[in-house]
Structure 1
Amino acid sequence: MEDISLVILTFLIFAGFAAAFIDAVVGGGGLISIPALLFTGLSPSVALGTNKLAATMGALTSTINFLRSGKINKKLVVKLLPLSIIGSGIGVYVVQLIPPEFLKPIILTLLILVTIYTIIKKDWGMKSTFKKLSMKMTIFIVLATLILGFYDGFLGAGTGSFLIFSFLLLGFDFVESAGNAKVLNFGSNLAALITFILFNSVNFYYGIPMGIAMVLGAFVGSRVAIKSGAAYVKVLFIAITVVLIGKSVWDYIQKQI
């Protein structure tokens, strides 16, 4: 049994590093970490809660790296952070009561539109044009933060991509958008984690080792993003959203069979 546990922990450590490396840049790490946790035999709710524990550790590391590099608009994200936290806590509570299946077709459609728009706008996000928020921009980012915070707690897949897209619409470049998004993602992860703990849906035995691996993966991933620049982040952003779309379509097909 101990050998099996060691094999499982090793598997989760490698999966955690890979997930956090991707998630640090453009989100989507849950595509790797959640299936890995489900593979160990955890129930879906405990797998989600355990993933939030590990992801919160990784998100904090990414946030610190982006902060140190000066790639975060601190004045803006500090104001938005409480909305992300509140939305996420509500989302985790609601998911205990309502299955998230009805949201998936909407999310798939939005992911497709986001990807197409990003590909068509070739120079979009290469340079930052953000100066200050207009009233329309303020209303947009406030609503987007609250809704995406809720979505992160409720379902989660693609939250990072949607957050980055929201900041791109404000005029930030891809690296700054990734940094701003990671702060809000950390807040929503933390709120979701606390709520999952209250529902006794976190496996600390798996979550902590995976989280340590995510700290390392997030550190490396965020450093690579900051060093490589907006073009690298844009390519990875498109790649991950395409994978998210593919997974969503595959899940839908499997349920129809």
Structure 2
Amino acid sequence: MEFILFFMVGVVGNVVGTLVGGGGLISLPTMLLMGLPVHSAIGANKVSNTVSSLTSFLVIFKQKEVTTKEALSVVALCLGGGILGGLIASFLTGETLTIIAIVLLSFAFITSFIGKGNFEGTESLRVNKKSGPALLGIGMYDGMFGPGSSTLAMYLYASQKIAYIRAVGLARIGVFASCFGASITYISTGKIIWPLTLALMLGAIVGAQLGVRLARKLKSEHVKPLLRIVTVLLIMQIVIDYFK
């Protein structure tokens, strides 16, 4: 029964995560409620997201909606950030990670009302003084904690006037890179409970494929409201967990 539940969690979490980020809103609390240690739950998320995000990115990449140059830029920054984040996490308390998550997500939520990006642009990703450090920071955050990292990336791509389906592809390859880097750390420290992680991974692959197909049908004007809803839910969940 546990394996079926983990499979379904992977499906639902990755549909949401692919569309607007925030898949951790579903998967992490469920795993923690089932009694998984926090580092094992985060590690399972990282390993499953590494595989599922790559499969969904490849679907978009094959349609030539993301260039190789863009993908490699995101991979380099998020992979480095993910490795650093995974290492830093081992030195930080759960309370500190929670506070970092609340601050980052609150900042993203507030700036979403200030920025003019709405996923209707036609720009390519340009790594500059703003986007470069932001991608590195998102990778670090994903390696350290995770919930909301894709959501933060989507806000960044909206501010860069990048079209929605391209933003989804870039967010997915970014998740792959940062989760791959973090997974190395979690696997090497023996935090992974493999049977449950594999069940989550299979569900995540199915969910990611469904999410990519739904993304093509989602209108750009609906994305930002959905992002804001997911962001508020993420903040609420993290605050509640913190006070528990």
Would you say 1:130 and 2:123 are equivalent positions? yes
Q: Percent identity?
A: 27
Contact 2:102 2:238 in 1 (8 A): yes
Could you list the per-position Cα deviations for residues 131-152 of structure 1 after superposition, in whole angstroms to 9, with x for gaps in the alignment? 574xxx6121111111111111
Question: Per-residue deviation at 1:100?
Answer: 4.6
Question: Per-residue deviation at 1:124?
Answer: 3.2
TM-score (norm 1): 0.86
2:105 aligned residue: 111
- How far apart are the structure 1 equivalents of 2:125 and 2:50? 30
Could you list the per-position Cα deviations for residues 152-184 of structure 1 after superposition, in whole angstroms to 9, with x for gaps in the alignment? 111112111111111222221333222211111
Could you list the per-position Cα deviations for residues 221-257 of structure 1 after superposition, in whole angstroms to 9, with x for gaps in the alignment? 11100232423433322221121122133234x25xx
1:171 aligned residue: 161
Would you say 1:246 and 2:244 are equivalent positions? no
- How far apart are the structure 2 equivalents of 1:67 and 1:220? 16
Counting only pairs closer than 5 Å after superposition, residues 1-257 of structure 1 correspond to structure 2 as 7-119=1-113, 124-130=117-123, 133=126, 138-252=128-242, 254-255=243-244
Contact 2:125 2:162 in 1 (8 A): no
1:3 aligned residue: none
Contact 2:117 2:159 in 1 (8 A): no
Contact 1:86 1:191 in 2 (8 A): yes
- How far apart are the structure 2 equivalents of 1:251 and 1:39? 11
Cα gap change, 1:172 to 1:19, in 2 (>3 Å) = same
Question: Per-residue deviation at 1:58?
Answer: 1.6
Contact 1:148 1:162 in 2 (8 A): yes
Cα gap change, 1:103 to 1:218, in 2 (>3 Å) = same
Could you list the per-position Cα deviations for residues 168-214 of structure 1 after superposition, in whole angstroms to 9, with x for gaps in the alignment? 22221333222211111111111111111101111110011111111
Contact 2:49 2:175 in 1 (8 A): no
Aligned residues: 244
- How far apart are the structure 1 equivalents of 2:95 and 2:164? 30
Question: Per-residue deviation at 1:103?
Answer: 4.6
Report the residue type matching 2:156 in the other structure.
S
Question: Per-residue deviation at 1:115?
Answer: 2.4
Question: Per-residue deviation at 1:19?
Answer: 0.3
RMSD between superposed Cα atoms in Å: 2.1
Cα gap change, 1:47 to 1:109, in 2 (>3 Å) = closer
Report the residue type matching 1:21 in the other structure.
V
Question: Per-residue deviation at 1:104?
Answer: 3.5
Moved beyond 3 Å, runs of 4+ = 103-107
1:4 aligned residue: none
**Greater Rg over alpha carbons, structure:** 1
Could you list the per-position Cα deviations for residues 1-40 of structure 1 after superposition, in whole angstroms to 9, with x for gaps in the alignment? xxxxxx1111111111100111112211111111222233
Aligned residue for 1:200, secondary structure, equals coil
Contact 1:46 1:202 in 2 (8 A): yes
Could you list the per-position Cα deviations for residues 63-117 of structure 1 after superposition, in whole angstroms to 9, with x for gaps in the alignment? 1122133332432231231121111111111211222533534542442342244
- How far apart are the structure 1 equivalents of 2:144 and 2:124? 33
Contact 2:119 2:158 in 1 (8 A): no
Unmatched tracts of structure 2, length 5 or more: none
- How far apart are the structure 2 equivalents of 1:219 and 1:235? 23
Cα gap change, 1:198 to 1:11, in 2 (>3 Å) = same
Cα gap change, 1:226 to 1:236, in 2 (>3 Å) = same
